Structure 1
């Protein structure tokens, strides 16, 4: 009997163990979030009298907002969304307009964003924004947010300011001018009275009609203005909203990333006669780096940056082409950045090793370079890892020619190991190349942010 029980228990255990629990969990999670927007990041920027918080999502979203007191908070609920595990949940903000941002999965299909702030209702604005390189965004502005904003740190004290210009027009200066004797005596002068005796009956009529025209014009204008504004309220509000949307779109793209006006040089490693490393299935490094670089160029230009490429096709950079020495080729790449007075220089490469198991992403900066170069290298490496999920191999100093002989902060990023079969496949895919480009763009945005 005991043997039978043992056999039955063993069979039961075998059945339990044979069920792919991880697959079921993954499947149920995939089903739960299917069709929902994934919230992928939160970015904060403070300048020009305003703090802007942008929440990124992979598709357009709808929001509900509310204000809470004790303490003062502004809440934005993102509908039909789920929060990526990569997003930082609690972000301190060093700003006179906001002190903290928190984000969490409030319910199974709502992501809640809470901003601790001390501004009044006229000094913040929350709205969704779609289009551009990020399909969906929620923008939360605090401070000087538009015509309704007083433009100071806290709204309440500044509400008094608009009353000052309102009282100035009511001063005695405009009041005394119409009451002066000059306008009253002019019509009473004898000159117009003597002239209309015989000669021109039309002249006095025209002279009398000339003063009447200004009187009729002001009468008709004030009458028509209220009628027009009442009839066109909706149109004006729509036009104002459209114009505001345009400015918000520009500011949402330019200000939050800080890329407007920035000059960036992208250097796709190798090219032309130099294939670079070659993967197990024959994928060449020069092809992968160019693919990523061209995608990165589009992302950065969409964010307002001016981008120069050391090469945009499969060719050498040096005017000497295949006849250039290694140093001449590398110096030609540096010259592109130095001659354009670039703000930063990004050289894109893929790592390789004899052991195909080697994998991961590395950021490099010149060993004797500035702290800004290290910061750039670190942020770009982190951005790539966040997007393609590779292992971090750290941010390391180096003596590579292109980061040593450029005059601005520079980094060389080894996106992944092309010698690793899995990472070669990732690098050679459209999805992998796009995510790698997005990761570098994210790192650049963080650097300038």
Structure 2
């Protein structure tokens, strides 16, 4: 009997020991969000002259709006807020005014909404509403607003709403708060210490993510060469540099396997193929990158071959396939290239990296029209934006 009592006491102590951390985490989460607004819904509706996006919260909120270019995006930050776990994070709109919208926990205190605009940086209006069935609402109107006013039609109470304070100071385009100040060699931002904070700190966004970009070929290795002499190594570097700019602007820490027209291995042109490829893998493996993206241009003897392909290691994780698929889709969405699918491969750089990895063949440099596209500034920017969109979707 005495032994049974002792065993019961030991089991009780054991259970208390291993449930206290979880209890503490729940308590910490409750304390963290107790004074914050919960973003509970995003509603989208399109009229003849505009698309309206309404952000619902369980209490009154403030906001800060800014416009970003290339491509045109409307960014709205809601401070002192957190996202309901039930809320869908991405909203394909596909109206003639808006491409898509996504919402993310930008940092532990800020919810960010990003809307891709098809009508230019100035053709939008942002304002808050008080009263009605929802305690806090922020409204984003995008479209032809020349004859519009804040007396809007969607989801408003029948009574005239209280006029919202002027938002001119906040809707004036400003520089984004995540200006590209990080450098590859700098230390990444410290991640939250527990799982609960990690959820809140931006698991749906790019802020704090570590990403390695690998521009294919370089130095003595030109890669494929197009009909007019455009070299693969030059196109991949230009796309990678623009992609780095986009990702850093969104708060990511970016590492490049090369920043110039050079080999990656310390042996330079004397390195074997394996030594050069391993040097590219060593960079993300050593810096603990979250993902690895290798950028290439495809080539074939038949100049009619065209399109975009995503590759992942055949025996790798499902996350690598997901990354490859999303980046391929993002590039196709931006460039309008033909989809050649997401395929398994045994490429060295996706096989010998320790994180989700993909090699994307953006387009065929051997195809005259795709060579011309990828040698243009517009093509470079669209390709980079497509890869960035795919990365954002992967983390979203």
Which TM class, normalised by the smaller chain length?
0.5 to 0.7
Cα-to-partner distance string for 1:236-269 (whole Å, 9 max, x where unaligned): xxxxxxxxxxxxxxxxxx9496222211110000
Cα-Cα RMSD: 3.5
2:358 is aligned, of 392, 408, 411, to 411
Q: Does 1:357 align with 2:298?
A: no
- For residues 131 and 62 of structure 1, do their structure 2 counterparts lie closer, same or farther at Cα, with a shift above 3 Å needed? same
Q: Give distance in 1, aligned partners of 2:304 and 2:221.
A: 25
> How many angstroms does 1:402 deviate by?
0.1
- For residues 109 and 356 of structure 1, do their structure 2 counterparts lie closer, same or farther at Cα, with a shift above 3 Å needed? farther
Q: Is the 8 A contact 1:352 1:417 kept in 2?
A: yes
- For residues 423 and 64 of structure 1, do their structure 2 counterparts lie closer, same or farther at Cα, with a shift above 3 Å needed? same
- For residues 357 and 113 of structure 1, do their structure 2 counterparts lie closer, same or farther at Cα, with a shift above 3 Å needed? farther
Q: Give distance in 2, aligned partners of 1:443 and 1:257.
A: 13
- For residues 256 and 262 of structure 1, do their structure 2 counterparts lie closer, same or farther at Cα, with a shift above 3 Å needed? closer
Match of 1:55 in 2: 115
Cα-to-partner distance string for 1:161-216 (whole Å, 9 max, x where unaligned): xxxxxxxxxxxxxxxxxxxxxxxxxxxxxxxxxxxxxxxxxxxxxxxxxxxxxxxx
> How many angstroms does 1:63 deviate by?
2.9
Match of 2:259 in 1: 312
**1:397-408 maps to which residues of 2 (within 5 A)?**
397-408=344-355
- For residues 115 and 327 of structure 1, do their structure 2 counterparts lie closer, same or farther at Cα, with a shift above 3 Å needed? farther
Q: Does 1:78 align with 2:154?
A: no
Q: Is the 8 A contact 1:45 1:53 kept in 2?
A: yes
Q: What TM-score do the two structures reach when normalised by structure 1?
A: 0.52
Query: Which has the higher Rg, Structure 1 or Structure 2?
Result: 1
1:440 is aligned, of 379, 387, 390, to 387
Cα-to-partner distance string for 1:295-347 (whole Å, 9 max, x where unaligned): 11111111111111100110100111111111110000000111111111000
Q: Give distance in 2, aligned partners of 1:328 and 1:115.
A: 61
**1:25-44 maps to which residues of 2 (within 5 A)?**
38-44=97-103
Task: Give the match's secondary structure for 2:343.
Answer: strand
Task: Give the match's secondary structure for 1:313.
Answer: coil
- For residues 128 and 392 of structure 1, do their structure 2 counterparts lie closer, same or farther at Cα, with a shift above 3 Å needed? farther
> How many angstroms does 1:66 deviate by?
4.5
Q: Give distance in 2, aligned partners of 1:115 and 1:51.
A: 22
Q: Give distance in 1, aligned partners of 2:309 and 2:202.
A: 29
Q: Is the 8 A contact 1:386 1:439 kept in 2?
A: yes
Q: Is the 8 A contact 1:268 1:349 kept in 2?
A: yes
> How many angstroms does 1:448 deviate by?
1.1
Q: Give distance in 1, aligned partners of 2:148 and 2:100.
A: 17
Q: Is the 8 A contact 1:380 1:439 kept in 2?
A: yes
**1:3-402 maps to which residues of 2 (within 5 A)?**
38-45=97-104, 48=108, 52-57=112-117, 58-60=120-122, 61-64=124-127, 66=129, 74=137, 76-79=139-142, 81=143, 128=171, 130-131=173-174, 255=202, 258-402=205-349
Task: Give the match's secondary structure for 2:288.
Answer: coil
Q: Is the 8 A contact 2:215 2:295 kept in 1?
A: yes
Cα-to-partner distance string for 1:358-402 (whole Å, 9 max, x where unaligned): 111111110111111111111111111111111111111111000
Q: Give distance in 2, aligned partners of 1:436 and 1:303.
A: 17
Larger helix proportion, structure 1 or 2?
A: 1
Task: Give the match's secondary structure for 2:302.
Answer: coil
- For residues 77 and 44 of structure 1, do their structure 2 counterparts lie closer, same or farther at Cα, with a shift above 3 Å needed? closer
For structure 1, list consecutive stretches of 5 or more residues without a partner in the other structure.
1-35, 83-105, 135-253
Aligned residues: 264
> How many angstroms does 1:355 deviate by?
1.3
Q: Give distance in 1, aligned partners of 2:385 and 2:99.
A: 12
> How many angstroms does 1:435 deviate by?
1.0
- For residues 267 and 131 of structure 1, do their structure 2 counterparts lie closer, same or farther at Cα, with a shift above 3 Å needed? farther
Q: What TM-score do the two structures reach when normalised by structure 2?
A: 0.59
Q: Give distance in 1, aligned partners of 2:296 and 2:373.
A: 14
For structure 2, list consecutive stretches of 5 or more residues without a partner in the other structure.
1-71, 74-96, 157-161, 178-200
- For residues 41 and 78 of structure 1, do their structure 2 counterparts lie closer, same or farther at Cα, with a shift above 3 Å needed? same
Q: Give distance in 2, aligned partners of 1:280 and 1:133.
A: 40
